[in-house]
Amino acid sequence: RLELRCERDGAGAELRLDAHPALAVSRAALLPPPGGPGDAAGQELPVESRPFTSYGSALHIALPQAPRAGQLLTLLIDYEAGEGPGVCWLSPEQTAGKQKPYMYTQGQAVLNRSFFPCFDTPSVKFTYSATVKVPEGFTAVMSATTWEKQKDNTFVFKMSQPIPSYLIALVVGDIVSADVGPRSRVWAEPCLIEAAKKEYDGVIEEFLVVGEKLFGPYVWGRYDILFMPPSFPFGGMENPCLTFVTPCLLAGDRSLVDVIIHEISHSWFGNLVTNATWGEFWLNEGFTMYAQRRISTEVYGLPYTCLEAATGRALLRQHMDATGEEHPLNKLRVVIEPGLRGVNPDDTYNETPYEKGYCFVSYLAHLVGNQGKFDAFLQAYVNRFKFQSITADDTLGFFLEYFPELKEKGVDSIPGFEFDRWLNTPGWPPYLPDLSPGQQLMRPADELAELWAADGLNMEAIEAVDITGWRTYQLVYFLDQVLQKSPLPEGNVKRLSKMYPKISKAQNAELRLRWCQIVLKNNLEAEYSKVKDFLHSQGKQKYTLPLYRTMWGGSEATRALAMETFSATAPQLHVNVQNYVKKILGLEGAE
């Protein structure tokens, strides 16, 4: 049921909604106004689905007459869905518990049109409610401010704040919950709930409190986390009130909570203030990276946060080296042409909006020159645009309006750093924030990587470095340096593996990813099984694609490993990830 208001006259007598070929519409009807005369079943309307883009179709619904400005319409659409890319059905073996099937929806960026007919654009926001009946032994949860269980295993949800279509999400599975804070609980399959509670007990509230101090009130009521099955393709999806996250975050040592800080930061940047188009995704992600690192600085200190930001910068470097700096996706403002041959917004997903976006927000802070003043600006920005969808012009216009002295100085057109250049020129960011406070953690890692890359290993110097106290991101940074220097001289990686079981036998996904890349780059065939095991254990896009790229760019043996691993794991991967891997491996049927 869609409750619509006509914004202005001259709209015409046709309603167009986003839909999908996998969505079968059986009937559309105009319902009488509440309390007014008319048939409760409504007046049936002609409805037709027409081709629109590669990732969806347009639903054309003919209205009896053109509505007037301000007029309210209630539409009823009967349809069936389930086959589309936004709805993921997992067999029992794709779950952690291996006993019962599971389903979840993933809306970002343009997939929810295959879950329900809607205006599937981040420029439109709305409230929603849902009634979900599920079989016995299953539980339903949604991204909603309230939910209650009624009889017959029926769940009722309400989202009282306006959100864009991509943030509506549903999960049905064998899931249970445990409280981890005054407004937070973790949800997971029964076999994971203890680990989830242990890892996140008490930490979420700490992050929320810091976020509120920095960016203003948390408006969504609850903040719950749902640990997804291993095939979930993302680290996290910031569905409001209920963040979905990869089970890879259950590292057992709280070392990967920065992903949670990232998703919490979306509560202000992305969910509350939203990019109006996917071509300006950096408004969601660049600001969220900045906010994440502000919270992290308050909680963990500047050196550690700079180290984490340095690993982010390394990812951006890798991405730009792989695509070429001049690639059109390496701009903050990406042109997404509509139409049948247009770009699918999902395919524009890369490091640029995150890390180059972070650099631009950091540059704005650098122009202000005072952290307290910039924090105050961010709070004013959220307050000014909350519950709205905006463009970069809105953001930058507000920045100059908020700091008239900067506007007067013409900071938007400083040669080489023009706002227009930031937005529209591809390539490496013109300004990089100073990460030198992280040097105290980076230097020992740099020096150790140098030692391991040497022709004759100086074991005395190597053994003098004690890495037992290093935190995850220090180890990640060390491995990034080793990877950059790979392939190392013959035999070095084998020694390294033996010397640091903490790294080579790690269960932490960030360490496993990099260790697998090092094993492949150095043709350490004795440990190829670790690559296979890691790819069997999870299906996160950010871990899966780089490993297939490395394997495919390597030797005959690593190519064979890629083919063998993919044919074994394909059924447990998200359909988008399957397609991206097929593309890397040059397989037929890649979309």
What does the pLDDT look like over 269-291, one tens digit per residue? 999 999 999 999 999 999 999 99
User: Which three-class secondary structure string do you get for 34-57?
Assistant: CCCCCCCCCEEECEEEEEEECCEE
Residue range 295-327, pLDDT digits in tens = 999 999 999 999 999 999 999 998 999 899 999
Question: Any binding-site annotation on 442?
Answer: no
Which of the residues 263, 280, 308, 527 is marked catalytic? 263
Judgement on whether residues 61 and 92 belong to the same structural domain of the protein: no
Of residues 448, 507, 505, the one with CA closest to residue 481? 448
pLDDT in tens, 565-580: 999 999 888 888 999 9
- Alpha helical stretches, state H, 128-266: 193-200, 203-215, 258-265
**DSSP class of residue 334?**
-
- For residue 559, CA distances in Å to 528, 549, 555, 563 come to 12, 10, 6, 6
Is the pLDDT score of 87 beyond 80? yes
Nearest to 376 by CA among 263, 209, 216: 216
173 assigned binding-site residue = no
Q: Is 237 annotated as a binding residue?
A: yes
pLDDT value for 138: 98
Q: How far apart are CA 387 and CA 246, in angstroms?
A: 27
* Whether the predicted pLDDT of 590 surpasses 70: no
Sign of the C-alpha dihedral, residues 507, 511, 516, 518? negative
The residue behind tokens 């640990």 is 227
Summary mean pLDDT of the chain:
95
69 belongs to a structural domain:
yes
Between CA 245 and CA 263 the distance in angstroms is 9
Q: Which listed residue (166, 349, 354, 381) is catalytic?
A: 354
Count the neighbouring beta carbons within 10 Å of the beta carbon of residue 89.
12
pLDDT of residue 222: 97
Residue 247 and residue 193 share a domain: yes
Task: Report how many domains make up the chain.
Answer: 4
Q: Which residues of 495-526 are buried (b: 16+ CB within 10 A; e: fewer)?
A: ebbebbeebbebebbbbbbbbbbbbbbbebee
**Has residue 565 been placed in a domain?**
yes
In a domain, 430, yes or no: no
Spell out the residues 6+ positions from residue 466 whose beta carbon is closer than 8 angstroms to its own: none
User: How would residue 184 be classed by pLDDT, with cut points 50, 70 and 90?
Assistant: very high
Residues 567 and 467 in one domain: yes
pLDDT at 257 over 80: yes
Last residue of a domain, one of 395, 424, 453: 424
Q: How far apart are CA 567 and CA 581, in angstroms?
A: 11
Q: Confirm or deny that 20 is annotated as ligand binding.
A: no
> Do 249 and 291 reside in the same domain of the chain?
no
Strands 388-390 and 184-188: unpaired
Residues 409-450 have pLDDT tens digits of: 999 999 999 999 999 999 999 999 999 999 999 999 999 999
Give yes or no: residues 467 and 382 share one domain. Answer: no
234 is in an annotated binding site: yes
The CATH number of the domain holding residue 146 is 3.30.2010.30
Distance separating alpha carbons of residues 547 and 149, to the nearest angstrom? 43
Banded model confidence at residue 591, pLDDT cuts 50, 70, 90:
low
Any known ligand binding at 538?
no
| Residue 498 pLDDT level (bands cut at 50, 70, 90) | very high
- Residue 432 included in any domain: no
> Do the domain assignments include residue 533?
yes
CB 142 within 8 A of CB 214: no
Check residue 589 and give its pLDDT. 66
Question: Phi-psi bin for 76: left (phi > 0), alpha (psi -120 to 50), beta?
Answer: beta
Assess whether 263 carries a catalytic annotation: yes
- Round to whole Å and give the CA distance between 495 and 389: 54
Greater model confidence, 339 or 177: 177
> Which of 31, 49, 81 finishes a domain?
81
CA dihedral 539, 545, 547, 553 (to 10 degrees): 150
pLDDT at 76: 97
Tens digit of each residue's pLDDT (9 = 90 or more) over 362-373? 999 999 999 999
Looking at the fold, whether 199 and 287 belong to one and the same domain comes out as no
The CATH code of the domain that includes 48 is 2.60.40.1730
Distance CA 21, CA 528 (A): 41
Q: Do residue 87 and residue 72 come from a single domain?
A: no
> Is 507 annotated among the ligand-binding residues?
no
Shared-domain flag, residues 254 and 311: no
CA distances from 450 to 310, 318, 337 (A): 18, 20, 46
Of 28, 47, 81, the domain-final residue:
81
Same domain, 416 and 456: no
Condensed to tens digits (0 to 9), the pLDDT of residues 37-56 reads 888 889 999 999 999 999 99
303 Cβ contact partners less than 8 Å away, ≥ 6 residues apart:
437, 438, 439, 440, 441
Average of per-residue pLDDT across 139-146: 98
Whether residue 380 is found in the same domain as residue 517: no
**In this structure, is residue 532 part of a structural domain?**
yes
238 is in an annotated binding site: yes
pLDDT for 199 beyond 80? yes
Q: Are 244 and 221 in contact (CB under 8 A)?
A: no
Q: Do 336 and 466 share a domain, yes or no?
A: no
For 40, 166, 267, the CA distances from 144, given in Å and listed in that order, are 28, 13, 13
- 272 belongs to a structural domain: no
Give the CATH number of the domain where residue 451 resides. Answer: 1.25.40.320
Range of the domain at 343: 282-424
Six-digit token pair at 158? Answer: 């309400």
CB 117 within 8 A of CB 18: yes
* Residues 115 and 133 placed together within one structural domain of the fold: yes
Domain assignment of residue 502, yes or no: yes
Respond yes or no: is residue 447 known to be catalytic: no
Q: Could you tell me what percent of the chain has a pLDDT over 90?
A: 90
Beta strands in 330-378 (DSSP E): none
For every residue of 226-277, DSSP letters joined together read: EEPPTT--SSEE--TTEEEE-GGG--SSSTTTHHHHHHHHTTTBTTTEEESS
The CATH number that applies at residue 311 is 1.10.390.10
Q: Is the pLDDT of residue 34 over 80?
A: no
